[in-house]
Amino acid sequence: MRHRTALPLAAAALALPAGLLLAGPASAAPADKPQVLSSWTQTSASSYNAWASARANQGAWSAYGFDWSTDYCSSSPDNPFGFPFASSCARHDFGYRNYKAAGTFSAHKSRLDSAFYEDLKRVCAQYSGATRTSCNSTAWTYYQAVSVFGVAPAKAPAGLAAGV
C-alpha cells in the first residue's frame, strides 16, 4: 500500500511546481511586485529581454500597476548619431519611475544606472571598428549624465533631466 500512496503524492508534488510555472503573470500575486521589478531591472541581457517581453504585453501585468510611461532619453536624443538608444532609455525610465513609486529609489539608483549602461553597450556591440568606438563613447556619456544628474522624476530640480 505504501507504494500506491507514495506514487500519487510524488506525482502531485511534481505537478504542483509545473502548474505554478504554467500560471501566467495575470494570476501571480501582486505581493511579488518587488521581485518582478527587481528581475526586470538587473544588468543582464536576460533581464532586459524579460522586461522587453513584458513591455510588449503590458496587459498581462496590469494587476501589478507598473508605470510603463517613458519620455525615452528625456532632453537627449533617443538615437544619437543613429545609435538606437530609445529602448534602453525606456527601461531606465521604467526602473526610475517604479522604484520612485515604491519609495525605494535611492537604494536602487546605482543599479538602474548600471543596467542602463549595460543596455547601451549591448546596442553598441552590434557595430564594429570606429562606429563601435563612437557608440561606446556616446553610451559612456549617457551613463555619466544619468549617474550624475539622474534624479527621481518627481524630485527633479528645474533644468535637470528626470531619468535619462
Distance CA 127, CA 137 (A): 13
**Active-site residue (options: 78, 88, 91, 92):** 92
92 catalytic per annotation: yes
Residue 43 to residue 119: CA distance in whole angstroms: 7
In terms of Cβ atoms closer than 10 Å to its own Cβ (0-12, 13-18, 19+), residue 73 is buried
User: Which residues make Cβ contacts (< 8 Å) with residue 44, sequence separation at least 6?
Assistant: 118
* Whole-angstrom distance, CA of residue 159 vs CA of residue 144: 17
Cβ–Cβ under 8 Å, residues 50 and 119: no
Q: Is 71 exposed, middle or buried (0-12, 13-18, 19+ CB in 10 A)?
A: middle
Q: For Cα atoms 82, 150, 120, give the angle at the middle one, nearest 5 degrees.
A: 35
Residues serving a catalytic function are 92
